[in-house]
Amino acid sequence: MLVSLKSSYQYNFVLLFLTVAFLGALVGTVPGAYLELAKRSRMSNPHP
């Protein structure tokens, strides 16, 4: 990392990184939970 970077630029970069990480976790978690619920419902209900 360059020491001469502006603090505002670093703050915006960290904020952007946290936002992307949060969205990535959200997109990765919601379908996983949905699939897990679908698996459990299929196991409890073998007949559709």
> How far apart, in Å, are the Cα atoms of 47 and each of 7, 13, 33, 39?
60, 51, 22, 13
Nearest-5° Cα angle at 44, 38 to 34? 15
20 — pLDDT class (breaks 50, 70, 90):
very high
- How is residue 40 written in tokens? 């459990």
State the average pLDDT over residues 23-46.
86
pLDDT of residue 45: 66
Give yes or no for residue 23 having a pLDDT over 90: yes
Compute the distance between CA of residue 34 and CA of residue 36 in angstroms, rounded to an integer.
Answer: 5
> How far apart, in Å, are the Cα atoms of 18 and each of 1, 13, 14, 34?
18, 9, 6, 24
Give yes or no for residue 21 having a pLDDT over 90: yes
Q: What is the pTM of this model?
A: 0.51
